[in-house]
Amino acid sequence: MKPIRNRAQSWHTTLGAPILALVLAAVTACGSAAPSSAPAQTTAGSAKPAASSAQTSAATEVPATLDALYAAAKKEGALQTSLSWQDDQWLPLAKAFSDRYPGIKLDRLEISPDKGLERIITEKAAGKVSTDLAGARLSEMTQVISRDLAATYDYRKVFGLSNDVVQDDNRYVIAYQNGSILSYNTKLLDDASAPKDWKDLLDPRFQGGKVIVAQDANDVFWALAKEWGRDTMLDFARKLAAQKPRFSRSASDTTSLLIAGDAPVALSLYAGSIMKYTAKGAPIKGTAASPVSVDNNGVWVLKDAAHPNAARLFAGWLATPEAQNVFDTTNNRSLLIPGTSTKTAQYVQSLGVKLIMEQPTDIETDAKTQADAMAIIRGKNG
């Protein structure tokens, strides 16, 4: 995977200079007008204030239908995003969106969700925010909500989305989800000898570096705690630590090591990664170990976005079947909620596993549970 790059990329040419010129012209024209809380009166001598009032009213009105939202977004004509999605994911999405909703210029700053949020917070403190829509996991959304940065919108009604897709009181739209699957190398294990359950990892044959665990893993254990109870899960973590697992640097490193046969089993691979690499002939396979933790990756619209309607349109569209098909066919990613018909979702469904989804209300508790388990496994806490 290519490293995340903090750089701005445009689907179309950015019209920064002309927009700045228009803003300066408007400021100059109204520069001597004193602010007033009273509504402007429509008289022969006050035509400009009346027009300004009408423009302000139109700008603050929130479109309540998809047609009205597109019309408002097209009038804005641009959208600035802050997303970690690389070219193989971003470019097909940008093209599909532009084909569906022409007339809106898409720009992307490619940056990780946590760094993107830091940038937004810094810019907001300086009184200058350049982003309309940003990517986030639930860990970032906790900060977004506490700082009251996100705008609300009725995505469910306008786009016909399910309650599972829209979270945080209409502030967050899930674009895709990752399911973490217990997996094995088919050259080192056959179906009969492969683990069938998480607790099979405690078998003596998996001692001494036979199980790969990402040292920064943020999946699996919080879900096991919800299914088994915290104490039972932590006992499992202690026993797994005694197996002396082999630690990888990251989730992507885990995938590479399993494919290479560095160990026969990986604590988890994303379902999309299994599909992607098995299609290329990689000797890996997912198991039916249940439950499976599911983490969310989505977007939110800034309250003070310069192009709020374009941002709302893109956010809602990402969770539609059309956009989900783009995610699925280009990156083996999609929503995994019941009713999703993508190949990725169908693969996970075929395993017959129970899915435990991240929930905004549980994010802090789940994060602590996960951290406690990982500390035990890494030998930092018994």
Domains in the chain (CATH in brackets) are 7-12+63-175+296-331 (3.40.190.10), 177-295+339-377 (3.40.190.10)
Q: Confidence band (pLDDT; 50, 70, 90) for 6?
A: very low
- Looking at per-residue pLDDT, the higher value among 104 and 35 belongs to 104
Residue type, 198: W
- Looking at per-residue pLDDT, the higher value among 283 and 37 belongs to 283
Residue 245 has a pLDDT of: 97
Instruction: Check whether 95 has a pLDDT greater than 80.
Output: yes
**pLDDT tens figures, 115-154:** 999 999 999 999 999 999 999 999 999 999 999 999 999 9
CA distance linking residue 94 with residue 79, whole number of Å = 11
Residue 61 has a pLDDT of: 82
Instruction: Check whether 51 has a pLDDT greater than 60.
Output: no
Handedness of CA 339, 343, 349, 353 (dihedral sign): negative
Q: Which of 5-9, 204-208, 324-328, 366-370 has the lowest mean pLDDT?
A: 5-9
Q: Which of 26-30, 153-157, 185-189 has the lowest mean pLDDT?
A: 26-30
Collect all residues with Cβ–Cβ distance below 8 Å to 32 and sequence separation of at least 6. none
Residue 299 has a pLDDT of: 98
Q: What is the mean pLDDT of the chain?
A: 87
Instruction: Check whether 223 has a pLDDT greater than 80.
Output: yes
Residue 33 has a pLDDT of: 37
Q: Confidence band (pLDDT; 50, 70, 90) for 60?
A: low
Q: Confidence band (pLDDT; 50, 70, 90) for 228?
A: very high
Q: Confidence band (pLDDT; 50, 70, 90) for 381?
A: low
Mean pLDDT of 89-110: 98
Instruction: Check whether 216 has a pLDDT greater than 60.
Output: yes
**pLDDT tens figures, 163-209:** 999 999 999 999 999 999 999 999 999 999 999 999 999 999 999 99
Q: Confidence band (pLDDT; 50, 70, 90) for 22?
A: very low
Instruction: Check whether 220 has a pLDDT greater than 50.
Output: yes
Collect all residues with Cβ–Cβ distance below 8 Å to 22 and sequence separation of at least 6. none
Residue 91 has a pLDDT of: 97
CA distance linking residue 351 with residue 189, whole number of Å = 18
Which of 233, 366, 299, 234 lies closest to 93, judged by CA? 299
The gap from C-alpha 296 to its chain's centroid, in whole angstroms, comes to: 6
Q: Confidence band (pLDDT; 50, 70, 90) for 34?
A: very low
Which of 374, 342, 376 lies closest to 272, judged by CA? 342
Handedness of CA 98, 104, 109, 114 (dihedral sign): negative
Residue 291 has a pLDDT of: 98
Handedness of CA 114, 83, 345, 347 (dihedral sign): negative
Alpha-carbon radius of gyration of the chain: 24
Q: Could you give the angle at which helices 363-377 and 221-228 cross, rounded to 10 degrees?
A: 110
Alpha helices of 82-204 — where are they, by DSSP H? 87-100, 113-125, 138-146, 155-159
Mean pLDDT of 319-335: 97
Instruction: Check whether 49 has a pLDDT greater than 70.
Output: no
Q: Confidence band (pLDDT; 50, 70, 90) for 380?
A: confident
pTM reported for the whole predicted model: 0.82
Whether the upstream peptide bond of residue 39 has omega within 30° of 0, thus cis, is: no
Cβ–Cβ under 8 Å, residues 62 and 153: yes
